[in-house]
């Protein structure tokens, strides 16, 4: 199943790259519409969403879909879901518009309220497209590189072990949504290094040991984190609720299918 879902994510990513690479530069400032919450929406978002939702519905007709670009169903209709797909067809739309390559395609599978599996595709990574995928109970997640010679390079990934008292830890934070609360967390650590990334790449940095900690003390939605949380947890890490934000239970894993589909603050 995970390889089939990865193929769907790649197809959506290829469609995104068609728009990303072929849109004339002078059109980029006018490319986006804006949703009710003020966040941008591009043709790439809607095109990728259609590809993913159509493919998942065809392959798994009994599993419902929660997607950023679909209307959120009333909680009464979905609270009994045993499984569901949690989809962000283009995470990092602001990064897409900035043309910095830091955007991802995210498809997560939730069992009850916990992520069970995740696929994250990075179509515009610096060294070529990268696919991350993991399923709980099937070993560590995999980072797959589509190299120029046509050979796929597979690598199991793991979170890096550390003590919070260690000096020189690497923290990663949002490129577009940093907050004073996040800065305060950074200054708790001795000689810490801070990197900025867009989209779900921040969770993936922790999953593959490129960063130790990702504090997110700002609003996010379930589709922003679901797929990458599954990968982090498969890699031996945790995505834990942090004081602040909405309906928080500090220290417990971030859970899914909440009434408003909004995450509490969290630390990875």
| Mean per-residue pLDDT over the chain, rounded | 87
Q: How confident is the model at residue 249 (pLDDT cuts 50, 70, 90)?
A: confident
Cα 98 vs. chain centroid, distance in angstroms?
A: 18
Distance CA 47, CA 67 (A): 13
Q: How confident is the model at residue 13 (pLDDT cuts 50, 70, 90)?
A: very high
User: Do the annotations mark residue 91 as ligand-binding?
Assistant: yes
At the top level of CATH, the class of 170-267 is: alpha beta
User: How confident is the model over 173-188, as pLDDT tens digits?
Assistant: 876 666 777 777 777 8
Residue 89, φ and ψ in degrees, nearest 5: -65, -25
pLDDT value at position 21? 86
Cα dihedral 143, 146, 148, 152 in deg (nearest 10) = 80
> For the chain, where do the domains classified as CATH 3.40.190.80 start and end?
170-267
Distance CA 132, CA 231 (A): 8
User: Do the annotations mark residue 203 as ligand-binding?
Assistant: no
Fold category of 2-156 in CATH? Fructose-1,6-Bisphosphatase; Chain A, domain 1 (3.30.540)
User: Do the annotations mark residue 88 as ligand-binding?
Assistant: yes
User: How confident is the model over 116-139, as pLDDT tens digits?
Assistant: 999 999 999 988 899 999 999 999
User: Do the annotations mark residue 233 as ligand-binding?
Assistant: no
Quick one: DSSP state of residue 151? -
pLDDT above 80 for 39:
no
User: How confident is the model over 192-246, as pLDDT tens digits?
Assistant: 888 888 889 999 999 999 999 998 888 899 999 999 999 999 999 999 998 876 6
User: Do the annotations mark residue 90 as ligand-binding?
Assistant: yes
Q: How confident is the model at residue 30 (pLDDT cuts 50, 70, 90)?
A: very low
pLDDT value at position 234? 96
């Amino acid at each position: 199943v995970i390889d089939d879902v990865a193929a769907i994510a790649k197809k959506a990513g290829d469609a995104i790259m068609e728009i990303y690479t072929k849109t004339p530069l002078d059109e980029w400032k006018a490319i986006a519409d804006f949703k009710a919450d003020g966040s941008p929406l591009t043709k790439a978002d809607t095109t990728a969403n259609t590809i993913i939702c159509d493919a998942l519905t065809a392959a798994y007709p009994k599993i419902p879909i929660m997607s950023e670009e679909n209307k959120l169903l009333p909680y009464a209709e979905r609270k009994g879901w045993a499984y569901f797909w949690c989809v962000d067809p283009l995470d990092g739309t602001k990064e897409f518009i900035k043309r910095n390559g830091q955007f991802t395609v995210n498809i997560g599978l939730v069992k009850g309220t916990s992520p069970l599996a995740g696929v994250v595709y990075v179509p515009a990574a610096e060294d070529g497209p990268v696919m991350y995928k993991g399923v709980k109970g099937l070993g560590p997640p995999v980072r797959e590189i589509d190299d120029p010679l046509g050979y796929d390079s597979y690598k199991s990934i793991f979170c890096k072990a550390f003590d919070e008292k260690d000096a020189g830890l690497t923290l990663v934070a949002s490129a577009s949504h940093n907050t004073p609360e996040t800065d305060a967390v950074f200054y708790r650590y001795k000689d810490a290094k801070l990197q900025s990334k867009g989209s779900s790449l921040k969770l993936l940095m922790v999953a593959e040991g490129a960063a130790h900690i990702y504090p997110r003390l700002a609003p996010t939605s379930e589709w922003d984190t679901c797929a990458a949380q599954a990968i982090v947890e498969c890699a031996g890490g945790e995505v834990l609720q942090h004081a602040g934000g909405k309906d928080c239970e500090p220290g417990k894993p971030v859970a899914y299918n909440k009434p408003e589909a909004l995450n509490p603050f969290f630390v990875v």
